[in-house]
Structure 1
Amino acid sequence: MTEDGGSAGTRTGRLERVREVVAVVMLSLTAILTAWCGFQASKWSGQMSIQFSAASSVRIHSIDLASEARDVQAVDLAIYTQWIQARASGDEDLADYVSARFTPEFAVAFEDWQDHGEELRSPFAEPSYVPEGRAEAAAASDEASQKFAAALESNQRGDNYQLLTVLFALVLFFVAVSERNRVAWAGWFLLGAGILVASVGIVLVATFPVLV
Structure 2
Amino acid sequence: MIDIIGVFLLSVIAVLTAWCGFQASKWGGEMSIAFSQASAARIQAANAEGEARSARAFDLTIYAAYVEARGDGNVQLAEYISERFTPEFQVAYDAWVADGEVENGPFARVEYVPEGTTEAEDFSALADRKFEEALENNQRGDDYSLLTVLFALVLFLTAMSQRELTPWVGRTLLGLAIVVAVIGLIILTTFPIRI
TM-score (norm 1): 0.90
Match of 1:197 in 2: 180
Of 51, 68, 71 in structure 2, the residue corresponding to residue 85 of structure 1 is 68
Indicate yes or no: 2:20 matched with 1:37. Answer: yes
Q: Which amino acid aligns with 1:158?
A: G
Q: 1:181, 1:88 → 2: CA distance? A: 102
Which structure would you say has the larger RCO, counting Cα contacts within 8 Å and 6 or more residues apart? 2
Match of 2:134 in 1: 151
Of 75, 78, 86 in structure 2, the residue corresponding to residue 95 of structure 1 is 78
Q: 2:75, 2:31 → 1: CA distance? A: 60
Structure 1 position 181, deviation (Å): 4.4
Match of 2:170 in 1: 187
Structure 1 position 60, deviation (Å): 0.5
Q: 2:137, 2:54 → 1: CA distance? A: 37
Structure 1 position 24, deviation (Å): 0.8
Match of 1:113 in 2: 96
- Aligned-partner SS, 2:103: coil
Indicate yes or no: 2:44 matched with 1:66. Answer: no
CA deviations on 1:146-197 (whole Å, 9 max, x unpaired) are: 1111111111111110001100011011111111142111111111111111
Q: Which amino acid aligns with 1:65?
A: A
More deviation in 181-190 or 108-117? 181-190
RMSD: 0.9
CA deviations on 1:83-126 (whole Å, 9 max, x unpaired) are: 11111112222211111110000000000000111110010000
Match of 2:7 in 1: 24
CA deviations on 1:23-55 (whole Å, 9 max, x unpaired) are: 111111110000000011111111111111111
CA deviations on 1:1-39 (whole Å, 9 max, x unpaired) are: xxxxxxxxxxxxxxxxx1111111111111000000001
Structure 1 unmatched ranges of 5 or more: 1-17
- Aligned-partner SS, 1:142: helix
Q: 1:85, 1:182 → 2: CA distance? A: 98
- Aligned-partner SS, 1:180: coil
**Moved beyond 2 Å, runs of 4+:** none
Q: Which amino acid aligns with 2:184?
A: G
Percent of paired sites with the same residue = 52
Structure 2 unmatched ranges of 5 or more: none
Of 33, 45, 50 in structure 2, the residue corresponding to residue 50 of structure 1 is 33
Q: Which amino acid aligns with 1:70?
A: R
